[in-house]
Amino acid sequence: MSGISHLCQQLEAYLEPHQITEVYRAYVFGAASHEGQFRKSGEPYITHPLAVATILAEIRMDYRSLMAAILHDVIEDTDVTKAQLESEFGNEVAELVDGVSKLTHIHFESKVEAQAANFRKMILAMVKDIRVILIKLADRLHNMRTLGVMRPDKCRRIARETLEIYVPIASRLGMNQLRLDLEDLGFSAYYPNRYKTLKQAVLKARGNRKEIVQRIETAIKGQLEQEEIPCQVLGREKNIYSLYQKMKRNHLNFSDVMDVYAFRIVVDSVDSCYRILGTMHNLYKPVPGKFKDYIAISKANGYQSLHTILFGPFGVPIEIQIRTTTMDEVAEAGIAAHWLYKSDDSESGNQVRAQEWLRELLDIQNSAGNSLEFLENVKIDLFPDGVYVFTPKGEIMELPRRATTVDFAYAVHTAIGDRCVAAKVDRKLVPLSSRLQNGQTVEIITTKSSHPNPVWLDFAVTGKARANIRAALKNLQYDEALILGKRLLNKTLAAFSSSIEQLSAHSIQHYLQEQECQSLDDLLVDIGLGQRVALITARQLIADQIPNSETDDAIQPLAIRGTEGMVVTFAKCCHPIPGDPICGHVSVGRGIVVHTESCNNTAEFRNRPEQHLDVQWDSQVEGEFAVDIRVDAANQRGVLAAVAANIALLESNIEKVYTIEHDGTHHSTLYTITVRNRVHLAAIIRKLRTLSDVAKITRTRG
């Protein structure tokens, strides 16, 4: 009887005598129902539900929750029915017990599916009454405390389930102390060696830190006494699992994590919180950008506090949390604090937030195809730092916040990422730079001929995507630079009636040694990337064969085909297109940059023979080229749509649109469109001039 006597003594602190009597009556009923049943540890089974009720009594839950906790396994493990419970203890207690009961009479294909279905039932019961999850969390906490009697493999499975599901739920409901207990027990069971190592390191570090902690605490208390603000100062240590997560997430050493000294200051009013904040900032200088006001804007789980980080003595960072007594109790008990301050005509902020969250879960439940899908969908909501999206086959993929469709493509497979050209999100075409949101279905469109674009690095966020993009671009640029370098050198050698193939192996090898170049391919890549000048290289290779005179006139212009890739770029200042007279210059690292002959920016390199390059369009140019046009039109409804439709009709794509309003009657719109050549552009301009509202069209440069 010692267990129930201890519980009743606890309850005397906050429950009425008739309520304690009801709890005791539930205990008598539960003990009789579980008579003859034992736990794996050998203890009578009733010790478990009694321990669950004791955990709930520590956070001062109402008496019906305690009754349901004591009875939570009778429907599953005994012959007692829900109807009997309802008759004996009322509908409210019976519903709570039914909500917590496990699914035992349904056969599932796997343990994962059984766990998901059980979780789904629990969530649905939570929607009816949030106390179901509080009982379930207490049940899980006691099971974790007695996990040692289980097989090692079962211990790890239960520990993982605790860390993945129950810890986030406790966090979401703001139940900080219960979350910390579950994290500590789950971590020690799932990673016993890591837990042991970290715990020993913490104990050792605590001894080394004792003097500094005492000095900081004395300084804080002394400053607060001068201000005559009644408060309580508490030293605060991160739990071992939090330390492990921080080390893992930020790639930190243990010493880096333990260098932060944390204190909590609890006061009587919100006004005192802000006064103490100013006092702390006067005592030690605050770290810029590290102040957070969760009182004015509370967290989603109802947590409220002021957080600031200060430069302490010896340069050590000090983390300070300032909150009221009520905020502190809510921070520890979360939604359970609702029953501590419950009144008949009002609900706490935590209760309202929890009910809103549960309503969102109901929407997820209605759209979920099965229990596994529902479980994964709830995980999305419990892990706000990640984005969960679906493949077309319904598989769940986890990506970091701000991930794009390119990150998704590389997460599926490197080859998919390398060949992607577009994406569909929820069956709608979107740019590859589109940020992904939780619950979206993503489909990647690929072609065999496509390859990564350097622009992707501007928006890709995952390490895998960025590493693969860089690797592919490096290989792609090398291959393209090799081809262009060979063309440039052969073009120059042709002026001397020679070619790379006609050069002797001895002369090439001798030149490579002089230039400290590893191979001919590396030499050609350097030429293609503009790091070596083709004319100078050619002259040095055949220095003994041809005099320097008459060589420049003999060199023919390089033919631009439009398929050179990244090593030939078209200047955005003048947007050259096939048919325009063009010239080029060699840019280190970029290869050849092509301009129109009339471009003002060509003047700076025309007087530099080593950079200037004669180029011309090849007779068979491939691809599409960007060009700017300006359309002056009447300010009428539908004009922009008509212009865009006619541009598309002539097989051109609009890349950018920028509109400048002139007055109330006319406006000018700048379009960047793609064309095959000047003939194609002329056809588009002629077509647009037939529109009645279009007054003038001009090609713009610069």
Whether 163 and 25 share a structural domain: yes
Tally of domains within the chain: 5
Pair (629, 613) in one structural domain: no
Task: Compute φ and ψ for 172, nearest 5 degrees.
Answer: -65, -30
Residues 315 and 205 in one domain: yes
* pLDDT tens digit sequence for 125-151: 666 677 888 888 899 999 999 988 888
Query: Would you place residue 323 in the very low, low, confident or very high pLDDT band (cuts 50, 70, 90)?
Result: very high
Give a yes or no: residue 350 inside a domain.
no
Asked, for residue 602, whether it belongs to a domain, the answer is yes
Candidates 16, 73, 77, 271; catalytic one: 77
The reply to whether 153 and 223 lie within a common domain is no
Q: State how far the Cα of 239 lies from the Cα of 49, in Å rounded to an integer.
A: 27
- In a shared domain, residues 173 and 217: no
Instruction: Give the Cα separation of 28 and 67 in Å (integer).
Output: 11
pLDDT at residue 22, rounded to an integer: 93
Whether 690 is in a domain gets the answer yes
Q: Within 10 A of 306 (CB to CB), how many other CB atoms are there?
A: 22
Q: What is the pLDDT of residues 86-126, one digit of tens each?
A: 999 999 899 888 877 743 334 445 566 666 666 666 666 66
Q: What is the pLDDT of residue 549?
A: 43
Catalytic residue, from 73, 76, 211, 329: name it.
76
| Residue 511 CB partners (closer than 8 Å, separation 6+) | 540, 541
| C-alpha to C-alpha distance for 424 and 403, rounded to whole angstroms | 15
Q: How far apart are CA 583 and CA 598, in angstroms?
A: 9
As given in the structure block, the two tokens for residue 632 are: 């002056």
Q: Is 184 a catalytic residue?
A: no
Residue (of 200, 123, 199) closest to 166 by Cα position = 123
Look at residue 46 and give its three-state secondary structure: coil
* Same structural domain, 581 and 535: yes
* CA 65, 66, 69, 71 torsion-angle sign: negative
Amino acid (one-letter) located at 565 = G
Q: Which residues contact 548 (CB under 8 A, 6 or more apart)?
A: 539
pLDDT higher at 357 or 294: 294
- Domain extent, residue 298, equals 201-340
Mean pLDDT for the stretch of residues 375-390: 61
Nearest-angstrom CA–CA distance, 634 and 570? 33
H/E stretch holding 278 reads helix 270-283
Across 693-701, average pLDDT = 88
Q: What is the DSSP letter of 468?
A: H
595 phi and psi angles, rounded to 5 deg: -125, 165
| 296 shares a domain with 170 | no
Task: Return the pLDDT at 124.
Answer: 65
Euclidean distance between CA atoms 320 and 331, whole angstroms: 15
Same domain (yes/no): 247, 171: no
Cα(654)–Cα(669) distance, rounded to whole angstroms?
Answer: 12
Please state the rounded mean pLDDT for residues 229-258: 79
The mean pLDDT value for 577-599 works out to: 82
pLDDT at residue 342, rounded to an integer: 44
Of 127, 161, 190, the residue that ends a domain is 190
Distance CA 385, CA 382 (A): 9
- The residue written with tokens 């290869």 in the block is 591
Residue 347: pLDDT band by 50, 70, 90 thresholds?
A: very low
Task: Locate 658 and state its tokens.
Answer: 């920028």
Checking if the pLDDT of 28 tops 60, the result is yes
DSSP 667: E
Nearby residues of 446 by Cβ (< 8 Å), 6 or more positions away:
416, 419, 420, 421
Tell me how far apart the alpha carbons of residues 74 and 66 are, in angstroms, rounded to a whole number. 14
**Predicted TM-score of the model (pTM):** 0.50
pLDDT at 702: 61
Residue 604 lies inside a defined structural domain of this protein: yes
Distance in angstroms (rounded) separating the CA atoms of residues 627 and 678:
10
pLDDT digits 0-9 by tens, 611-628: 677 788 888 888 889 899
pLDDT attached to residue 112 = 65
Of 523, 522, 521, give the one whose Cα is nearest residue 537: 523
pLDDT at 222: 87
73 touches 49 (CB < 8 A) = yes
Position 346 scores a pLDDT of 42
Q: Residue 670 maps to which CATH number? A: 3.30.70.260
* Helices 131-145 and 47-58: angle between axes, nearest 10 degrees: 120
Mark whether 693 is an active-site residue.
no
For residue 299, the domain's CATH number is 3.30.460.10
51, 163: one domain: yes
Assign residue 426 the CATH number of its domain: 3.10.20.30
Give the pLDDT band (50/70/90) at residue 23: very high
- The reply to whether 467 falls in a domain is no
Statement to judge: residues 228 and 206 lie in one domain: yes
> Same domain, yes or no, for 587 and 542?
yes
Split at pLDDT 50, 70, 90, the class of 265 is very high
Among the three residues 600, 617, 634, which one is the final residue of a domain in this structure?
617
3-state secondary structure (DSSP) of residue 311: strand
**Run of H or E including 132:** helix 131-145
Tell me, yes or no, whether 371 lies in a domain: no
Asked whether residue 356 is domain-assigned, the answer is no
More confident: 589 or 156: 156
CATH at 138: 1.10.3210.10
Task: Pick 309 or 209 by higher pLDDT.
Answer: 309
Q: What is the pLDDT of residue 343?
A: 38
> pLDDT-based confidence at 20, cuts 50/70/90?
very high
- Listed residues 165, 190, 215: the one ending a domain: 190
Helix, strand or coil, per DSSP, at residue 220: helix
**Amino acid, res. 625:** F
- Picking from 568, 559, 570, the residue whose alpha carbon sits closest to that of residue 529 is 568
Q: What angle do CA 564, 567, 573 make, to 5 degrees?
A: 100
Phi, psi of 519 (to 5 degrees): -155, 170
Q: Decide if 656 is inside a domain.
A: yes
Dig out the tokens for 147 from the structure: 């996990």
Read off the pLDDT band of 684 (50, 70, 90): very high
Q: Can you tell me which residue has the tokens 């075409």?
A: 429
Q: Are residues 264 and 180 in the same domain?
A: no
Model confidence pLDDT, tens digit, residues 483-503: 777 877 777 777 667 777 777
Written in H, E and C, the secondary structure of 94-127 is: HHHHHHHCCCCCCCCCCHHHHHHHHHHHHHHHHH
